[in-house]
Amino acid sequence: MATARNLNPSGLNKDDPLLEMSDVCVTYPGAASPALDNLSLAVRPGEFLTILGQSGSGKTTALRAIAGFERIESGHLSIGGQIIADARTHVKPESRRVGMVFQDYALFPHLSVMDNVAFGVPDAASSGKASITQALEMVGLGGYESRFPHELSGGQQQRVALARSLAPDPVILLLDEPFSNLDRQLRGTLRRDVREIVESHGTTAILVTHDREEALGMADRVAIMQSGRVLQVGKPNDLYSGANSSEVAQLIAPSNTVRGRIAGPYVDTEAGRFRYRSPNGPLGNGVFVDAVLRAHDLELGPWEGGGAIRTVRYREYQGEFTEYGIELPSLRQIYVRRRSIAPLEIGTRVMITAPFDRPVLVFPEQP
Amino acid sequence: MQTGFQLGAIRPRGGFTLLHLVGIAIAALVLLPIIYLAIRTFSADASAADLIFRQRTAEILFRSILLVGLVTAGSISIAVPMAWLTLRTNLPLRNLWTVGAVLPLVIPSFIGAFVAVIALSPRGMLQDLLDVLFSVERIPDIFGLPGATLVLVLLTFPYVFIPVRASLRRMDPALEEMSRNLGHGGFATFRYVTFPLLKPAISAGAVLTALYTLSDFGAVSLLRYETFTWAIFVQYDTAFDRSIAAALSLVLVAVALGILAIDIASRGQGRYHRSTVGSVRPTRPIELGRWRWPALAFVSVVVALSLIAPLGVVTYWVVRGVARGEEVGLDWTAFANSLQAGGLAALFTTLAAIPVAILAVRHRDLLSLSIERASYLGFGLPGIVVALALVFFGINVFTPIYQTRSLLVVAYVILFLPAAISAIRASLMQVNPRIEEAARGLGKNSWHVGFRITLPLVMPGVLAGAATVFLLTMKELPATLILGPIGFQTLATDIWGFTEEAFFAKAAVPALVLILSSGIPTAFLLFRDAQLSSSNSPEDPAGTTS
């Protein structure tokens, strides 16, 4: 059987994918729909890719399939051009040279930090303590060798898990929601540290998360996942401006999707009339569309009387901005984020507008 | 550690209450006879040291420890693979094997031994069969160490199986996956990750097995392997001077306490914390592939020998007896005595357990916790020692109730109090003390709240405890033999007596009644649990944060 151990990723062309998943399907026993539904994704050598998706989108399953914890039913998965899994092949997890950092770290509770990190190093005994100590120093935990996992804080456990997975020199490092169990302040620091450590180690990495900031902030490229498939892959900036579907636009920025109809240079919705931009090409008059209204890109002005009534229903002060819930004529609420000056009272009737330089995104309505 | 509303949720209530007084009385009832036994032995005419340090004591000690070691090792080597196979693999009929691996618990050791004797002894059923089929005229002797080991392993492996399976189920599968991810194969993963994490559960089960074996009287007496319990009984039964029996009892208690001490010492070292926060994700079962048939053969042989064989043999003898027109009818007096003893034991043990459980869960002051510890003494004490202690105590102190059923009930209370306390304690810990406080806040006094609020809420635990004590009492042998009034017979003493005298057909009917009376309700509960636990797997097996 092929093992990933004899791969030579450096021999690859710069643009050849290091990891390639093509039309991969995984269905859990008893599940109604597949967890991975013809998923295709290519990861380039040395890049830091994040997968952004909501709970149940299949992003963790994708990592588990790469690591070899799930068998794939169809499609194929290759590392460095060698098939490691398809409908018939299944290279064992221990032979793939893929490192995994689990969401809750999965540190071995009966082993010291030292032994945890040494666990995956085949010649830990001969190469001695030095390499392990070095790995720990890299994550800023020199001197913690003899501690046990339960004696460490969440952030420290996280670092040990990272050092442990990097110690055997994996071809690819997989990180499954690595910051979800940490408090907010710690996340920011650790995010930068992890990125830095992975980069200095020169490892290709895939990080899975449902946190938009994390996905956009850490990535060279972001893959957006929904219902077991990848909707769009791209650089964070490109995705933000060039979302090719309302789902992607909705995931990439806090926003509301409302139904609308094209009327010349405008789109008419129950939230108001807005200038629009259509990433998927020009649209004719009268076409029904999904309009994505980004919460940060809307402005609230005084009601000028007549027509539809839109009312402030809730207000949440959140520091530099204040979030408002605006009730539309259909009684549906959309949310708008506005700088925290001149707050509006609950019950105020407002008009919603989009600034000239930030038109709303529209996508032809899906049947 | 159990979770519940006990830790941190409540501050110890101050002060000495009536409940503490009741608790002290119960603890005294448990402790006094044993203390009395010790005092009597050391103040006997012959010096206690002479009685204890004899060659025979050393022989008995050696034999007992040998048996305990063999049975414990045997139980572990059956239970660990069984737990792994029924939980982690795609073995067919896993629920059935799980229930089958727990149910041998309901078979008393004297019935197991009775079955071994009629099936495997020279001129037993197996030999008859081999004689007819292959003209085999001799099979190895079942009596002595081999028979006792075989019977006790098959009856005690559930004590290891249950905690190991529970621990395996709680174990985060990510740990094993992580080991694979770091380059270790299946075997290395078991050796370096799974097994070390199972160690606490294995040693908890091993302690139960060791204590059971050390206390066992039924199997060793019927299979003629002289350990402490049988030696004590013979001394008590035949010798006029009972001081040797008392001295042996004290050595037995010391060995039992030694086992408990080893357990406590080893527990201190391996305090494994689950380093994870999230919930355990159900895993995909391991494909057994070509190991499927050997695995199936292993579990079916274990269940066949430990459960099906006893039931089958006993049923066969009942049917054979009826067919031959032998006198096999149930001894109704013994049956009634068993029910009565069980009922009284359940009632009084529960009554004694309730105050201790309340003290332990709700008061939690030093005195309450000491009372609870003392009440657990019966857990480590062999039945025969409790019985002997009560004989001495009865003759000299409790004279009016010596040779009455009351003293027998006292023995049952001492022996089975721990079982009742833990059942009640567990359900009491599920009751949020805020509910009681809310009732107090509505102007009711503590007694009123206890009867109207707390008691109804913990009733399931109280009833479960009572049922457990009832079944344990029905199966109890040595204390019943020693403390029962002259001529007092129960199903258990009938089976033992008839087997001793080789009236096998007569022993078969009460044996069947005993097995079924505790086996049927237990099987029902187990199947319900197994179905619940297999049907509650979430829709998204990859976890909630996929």
Residues from chain A that touch B275, judged by Cβ atoms under 8 A, are 104-107, 109, 149-150, 157
Residues from chain A that touch B537, judged by Cβ atoms under 8 A, are 30
Give the residue with greater pLDDT, B34 vs A62: A62
CB atoms A98 and B182 under 8 Å? no
pTM of the model: 0.79
pLDDT over 90 (residue B46):
no
Is residue B519 very low, low, confident or very high in pLDDT (cuts 50, 70, 90)? confident
Is residue B71 very low, low, confident or very high in pLDDT (cuts 50, 70, 90)? very high
CB atoms A94 and B192 under 8 Å? no
Is the Cα dihedral B70, B76, B78, B79 positive or negative? Answer: positive
Closest CA to A271 of A238, A240, A293: A293
Least confident of A12-21, A226-235, B85-94, B487-496: A12-21
- The confidence score (pLDDT) of residue A131 equals 80
C-alpha distance from A210 to closest chain B C-alpha (Å): 8
Stretch 151-190 of chain A: residues touching chain B, C-beta under 8 Å: 157, 164-165, 168, 177, 180-181
CB atoms A31 and B272 under 8 Å? no
Residues from chain B that touch A98, judged by Cβ atoms under 8 A, are 181
| B109-to-A130, A173, B76, B259, B311 alpha-carbon distances in Å | 57, 56, 18, 21, 13
* Pick from A31, A157, A210: CB nearest B275: A157
| Average pLDDT of span B478-499 | 89
**Other residues' Cβ atoms within 10 Å of the Cβ of residue B162:** 20
Tell which phi-psi region holds residue B543, choosing left (phi > 0), alpha (psi between -120 and 50) or beta. left
Strand-pairing partners, residue A98, are A172
pLDDT over 50 (residue B273):
no
Classified as helix, coil or strand, A85 is: strand
* Residue A105: closest C-alpha in chain B: B276
Residues from chain B that touch A52, judged by Cβ atoms under 8 A, are none
C-alpha distance from B157 to closest chain A C-alpha (Å): 26
Closest CA to B276 of B187, B192, B197: B197
Closest CA to A88 of A77, A80, A99: A77
Kindly list the domain boundaries of chain B, sorted by start residue: 54-238+287-325
Stretch 190-219 of chain A: residues touching chain B, C-beta under 8 Å: 210
| B342-to-B57, B155, B339, B469 alpha-carbon distances in Å | 34, 22, 5, 7
Classified as helix, coil or strand, A146 is: coil
Q: Could you read off the pLDDT of B153-194 as tens digits, one per residue? A: 999 999 999 989 988 888 888 898 899 999 898 889 988 999
Classified as helix, coil or strand, A160 is: helix
CB atoms B172 and A106 under 8 Å? yes
* Percent of chain B clearing pLDDT 90 (strictly above): 25
- The confidence score (pLDDT) of residue A127 equals 64
pLDDT over 80 (residue B310):
yes
Residues from chain B that touch A56, judged by Cβ atoms under 8 A, are 540, 544, 546
ipTM of the complex: 0.78
Q: Which residue is listed with tokens 């097996």?
A: B541
The phi, psi pair for A311, rounded to 5°, reads -125, 140
B487 CA to centre of own chain: 28
- The confidence score (pLDDT) of residue B23 equals 92
Strand-pairing partners, residue A327, are A311, A333
Instruction: Walk me through the domains of chain A, giving residue ranges and CATH numbers.
Output: 4-97+170-242 (3.40.50.300), 255-364 (2.40.50.140)
* Percent of chain A clearing pLDDT 70 (strictly above): 94
B274 reaches A (C-beta below 8 A): yes
Structure tokens at B501: 């005298």
- The confidence score (pLDDT) of residue A124 equals 61
CB atoms A31 and B540 under 8 Å? yes
- The residues, any chain, with a CB within 8 Å of residue A357's CB and separated by 6 or more, are none
**Count of A-B CB contacts under 8 Å:** 115
Classified as helix, coil or strand, B483 is: helix
* Residue B183: closest C-alpha in chain A: A94
pLDDT over 50 (residue A216):
yes
Is residue B331 very low, low, confident or very high in pLDDT (cuts 50, 70, 90)? confident
- The confidence score (pLDDT) of residue B6 equals 41
Q: Could you read off the pLDDT of B401-433 as tens digits, one per residue? A: 778 888 999 999 999 999 899 889 888 888 877
B258 reaches A (C-beta below 8 A): no
Residues from chain B that touch A103, judged by Cβ atoms under 8 A, are 278, 545
Classified as helix, coil or strand, B499 is: helix
- The residues, any chain, with a CB within 8 Å of residue B107's CB and separated by 6 or more, are B155, B306, B307, B310, B515, B519
At position A57, the amino acid (one-letter code) is S
Q: Which residue is listed with tokens 């499927």?
A: B292
- The residues, any chain, with a CB within 8 Å of residue B511's CB and separated by 6 or more, are B111, B114, B115, B314, B495
CB atoms B185 and A59 under 8 Å? no
Strands A48-52 and A221-226 come out as: parallel
As a residue count, chain A comes to 367
* Pick from A28, A32, A110: CB nearest B542: A28
**Other residues' Cβ atoms within 10 Å of the Cβ of residue A134:** 12
Residues from chain B that touch A163, judged by Cβ atoms under 8 A, are none
Strand-pairing partners, residue A25, are A74
Type and span of the H or E element at A257: strand A255-263
- The confidence score (pLDDT) of residue A3 equals 42
Q: Return d(Cα B92, Cα B34) in angstroms, integer.
A: 50
Classified as helix, coil or strand, B367 is: helix
The phi, psi pair for B430, rounded to 5°, reads -80, -15
Mutate to test the interface with B, among A5, A28, A95 (most CBs of B within 10 A): A28
- The confidence score (pLDDT) of residue B283 equals 65
Our CA angle for B440, B441, B442, nearest 5°, is 90
- The confidence score (pLDDT) of residue B82 equals 94
As a residue count, chain B comes to 546
Q: Could you read off the pLDDT of A42-58 as tens digits, one per residue? A: 999 999 999 999 988 99
* Pick from B193, B196, B275: CB nearest A105: B275
Q: Which residue is listed with tokens 């929601």?
A: A177
CB atoms B275 and A103 under 8 Å? no
Residues from chain B that touch A55, judged by Cβ atoms under 8 A, are 544-546
- The class that CATH gives domain B54-238+287-325 is mainly alpha
Residues from chain A that touch B175, judged by Cβ atoms under 8 A, are 106, 108
Query: What are the b/e assignments for B364-389, b being 16+ CB within 10 Å?
Result: beeebeebbebbbbbbbbbbbbbbbb
- The confidence score (pLDDT) of residue B271 equals 47
- The residues, any chain, with a CB within 8 Å of residue B141's CB and separated by 6 or more, are B121, B122, B147
Type and span of the H or E element at A275: strand A272-277
B538 reaches A (C-beta below 8 A): no
Q: Return d(Cα A347, Cα B1) in angstroms, integer.
A: 53
Closest CA to B313 of B322, B305, B303, B302: B305
Closest CA to A338 of A292, A293, A299, A294: A299
Is the Cα dihedral B456, B461, B464, B470 positive or negative? Answer: negative
CB atoms A94 and B541 under 8 Å? no
Q: Return d(Cα B341, Cα A326) in angstroms, integer.
A: 74
- The residues, any chain, with a CB within 8 Å of residue A113's CB and separated by 6 or more, are A136, A141, A144, A145, A146, A147, A148, A149, A152, A160
Residues from chain A that touch B196, judged by Cβ atoms under 8 A, are 110
